[in-house]
Amino acid sequence: MTGLTFDVVPLLPALLPILGVVGVLLADLVTPTLRRGPYAVAAAAALGAAVAAAPGTRMPAGSARSTLCMDDGLATTLERVSTPRCFWTADSLTSTLQLAACLAAVVCIALAWPRASAPGAPPGHAREPVEATLLLTALSGTVVVAASRDVGTWLVALELATLPIVVLVALGGSRAAVAGAVQLLVTSLVSFALLTLGVALWFLATGSPFLTADAAGAVAGAGPGDTARPLLSLAVVIILAGLGFKLSLAPFHAWTPTAYAGSRTAVATFLATVSKVAALAGLLVVLRAVAVLGTPGLLAVGVLAVLSMTLGNVVALRQDDVVRLLAWSTVAQAGWVVLPLVSVSGLGVRASAGYLLTYVVATLVAFAVVAGTVREVGPQGRRLGAYAALWQRRPWQAAALALALTSLAGLPPGVVGLVGKVVALRPVVAQDWLWLAVLAAANAVLGVAVYLRWLRPVLTSAGADGPRTGGDPGTPDPEAPPRERPVAVTVALLATTAVLVAVSVQPDLLLGPLGR
């Protein structure tokens, strides 16, 4: 018929979340008042997707699971080159990113775990099925974008990973939530426009709808008078700008604090982890394709990276709201994530993915602690003061938070963050851009200041130094109804902390699947 091969196993990481969506919608059709059921289905679907993606991480370098490949008949009608092409290719790096996205989504679902009944909500209007559907849709978009190898799928999947989040933020209902959602929406539209433009330029330059090394390689033979090469460079820079919005890279970061602060903690977690995986996976698809050209370092990436780090760290130093602090820390960390990409090479791509994974694991732990605290003490759990003397009140939680913050700062005992720093700086040094590396080193100091500012109250004894501001944050607001921490949140915290400890002892668990 169409001449398209079809293989279901590699597609499972994307299909299972979609099946989950169908399951949730069907269940909602039958019993529209379910609250926990949809979340259970969503968690199962995301876990299933993770299991499906896991075998791919063990593949040796150079091999990949591909499907939806065209045979020659179809190929020749679409493009100049006639070797078979695949719309879906997942090698170990792609599978690792998919796995990370799925597991991070599971954690987000656990953090958003609903109560058995919502006091005051009218019966028959459960919002949970909608939320579960949106989370799963965004997850499937993320999984697809990592493996997509053609411009159409890539573009649609990126939007699929973004737009549900806009709705999720807006579902918060408060003014802040709407403000955040509107900013996010406007940003995504601008980003989409840029990406479309970039993709169009790509097609113009290569004549191929595929985002593969072969397609980019066709440009390599172009003569000096040919416009293909500059067009391709322009395409890459514009795509970088478009994805810069999604990655929260300065100067495209403005939506980040508003959206984080306006949304529920679990949604902010999703924005900080799964969405970032989607954005970086999209960027890596393009950069791996152009890596064959042996381009000199991308100055634009270096400038954006340093700008992001500096701005993010400096503003984070002034935040007293921990979610806003984490939002600005995302901006700073985005700089570290793209820093290795100044070297458009396998080394740079692996380093960038590796740093992203360390960031995702540490951020998940930090958000899990915040989500638990917010569930317990209400909105004031987002104040920095709520973490004073946590060490004395909740030693294990404090230890998890300390590990997460030191990982983000890149200091032992968060060894994985320290290794991440080594990983991120290696390609820059290999590129011989010492000035950039020195600027990054100065930013490492700023980053330490940011996270120690949060770590200090955590470790301080109650009443040990000076008056504390904002009353006693340790006890819940007497006017608020007594709250409890759902078991799911505790489990999520324990599981993410266990992962963080494991990868701190043996960072290879995280970096190994990305290849050497």
Partner 1 sequence: MALTLLLLVPLVGAVVLLAAPPPTPARPGHRDAPIALATAGLAALLAVAVAIARPVVDAPWIRSLGVRWHFAVDGVSVALVLLTALLGVVVVLHTIVGPPPVGGSRSTLLGCVLLVEAGALATFLARDAVLFFLAFEVVLVPMWVLIRRFGDPHAADAVRADAAGRFVFFTVLGSTLMLLGILLLTHSTGTSDLAALTAARGAGLSTAVQATIAALLVGGLAIKVPLWPVHTWLPPAHTVAPTAGSVLLAAVLLKMGSYGIVRLAALPLPDGMALLAPGLAVLGVVGILWGGLACLVERDLKRLIAYSSVAHMGFVVLAIASGSPTGVQAALFGNVAHGIVSALLFLVVGDLKEQWGSADLTVARAALRDRSPRFGLALVMGLAAALGLPGLVSFWGEFLALYAAWSPGPGRPVGLLRACVVLGAVGLALAAAYALRVARIVWAGEGGDPAADPVRDLHSVRWGLVAAMLAAMVVLGLVPHLLLRLSAPDVEALVALVAR
Question: Which lies closer to partner 1 via its Cβ, residue 11 or residue 93?
Answer: 93
CB of 411 to partner 1, least distance (A): 5
- Can residue 60 be called a binding residue for partner 1 (CB under 8 A)? no
CB of 425 to partner 1, least distance (A): 6
9, 456, 470, 480: which one contacts partner 1 (CB under 8 A)? 456
Give CA–CA dist 358/504, Å, rounded: 10
CB of 64 to partner 1, least distance (A): 19
Question: Which lies closer to partner 1 via its Cβ, residue 170 or residue 450?
Answer: 450
CB of 109 to partner 1, least distance (A): 30
Token pair of 23, please?
């399951």
Question: Which lies closer to partner 1 via its Cβ, residue 296 or residue 395?
Answer: 395
* Total interface residues for partner 1 by CB under 8 A: 46
- Give CA 135 to chain center in angstroms: 13
Contact (Cβ atoms closer than 8 angstroms) between residue 89 and residue 11: no
- Count CB-CB contacts under 10 A for residue 379: 11
- Can residue 514 be called a binding residue for partner 1 (CB under 8 A)? yes
Q: Rounded to the nearest 10 degrees, how much is the dihedral formed by the CA atoms of 315, 321, 323, 324? A: -30
Region 494-513 residues binding partner 1, contact defined as CB under 8 A: 506-508, 511-512
Report which of 21, 41, 39 is spatially closest to residue 108, judged by C-alpha positions.
39
Give CA–CA dist 45/378, Å, rounded: 30
- Can residue 442 be called a binding residue for partner 1 (CB under 8 A)? yes
CB of 395 to partner 1, least distance (A): 7
- Can residue 412 be called a binding residue for partner 1 (CB under 8 A)? yes
235, 272, 325, 437: which one contacts partner 1 (CB under 8 A)? 437
CB of 499 to partner 1, least distance (A): 17
430, 491, 495, 502: which one contacts partner 1 (CB under 8 A)? 430
CB of 383 to partner 1, least distance (A): 20
- Can residue 125 be called a binding residue for partner 1 (CB under 8 A)? no
- Can residue 441 be called a binding residue for partner 1 (CB under 8 A)? yes
Region 351-410 residues binding partner 1, contact defined as CB under 8 A: 354, 391-392, 395, 399, 406
Give CA–CA dist 65/277, Å, rounded: 20
Eight-class DSSP state of 473: T
CB of 412 to partner 1, least distance (A): 4
Backbone conformation region of residue 71, classed left if phi is above 0, alpha if psi is from -120 to 50, else beta: beta
Burial of 14 (0-12, 13-18, 19+ CB in 10 A): buried
Question: 3-class DSSP state for residue 16?
Answer: helix
Question: Which lies closer to partner 1 via its Cβ, residue 324 or residue 350?
Answer: 350
- Count CB-CB contacts under 10 A for residue 241: 20
CB of 453 to partner 1, least distance (A): 9
Give CA–CA dist 414/421, Å, rounded: 11
Token pair of 243, please?
């994805």
**Residues, the chain:** 516
Question: Which lies closer to partner 1 via its Cβ, residue 39 or residue 391?
Answer: 391
Q: Is the peptide bond before 476 cis (omega within 30 degrees of 0)?
A: no
Q: Measured between alpha carbons, how far is residue 109 from residues 16, 104, 280, 490 in Å?
A: 16, 9, 22, 13
413, 485, 491, 502: which one contacts partner 1 (CB under 8 A)? 413
- Can residue 317 be called a binding residue for partner 1 (CB under 8 A)? no
Question: Which lies closer to partner 1 via its Cβ, residue 352 or residue 406?
Answer: 406
Contact (Cβ atoms closer than 8 angstroms) between residue 404 and residue 326: no
CB of 465 to partner 1, least distance (A): 5
CB of 447 to partner 1, least distance (A): 9
- Can residue 419 be called a binding residue for partner 1 (CB under 8 A)? yes
Give CA–CA dist 349/10, Å, rounded: 22
Burial of 508 (0-12, 13-18, 19+ CB in 10 A): exposed
423, 488, 499, 500: which one contacts partner 1 (CB under 8 A)? 423
Single-letter amino acid, residue 72: D
- Can residue 463 be called a binding residue for partner 1 (CB under 8 A)? no
- Count CB-CB contacts under 10 A for residue 102: 28
* Contact positions vs partner 1 (CB under 8 A): 350, 354, 391-392, 395, 399, 406, 411-413, 415, 418-419, 421-423, 425-426, 429-430, 434, 437-438, 440-442, 444-445, 448-449, 452, 456, 459-461, 464-466, 506-508, 511-512, 514-516
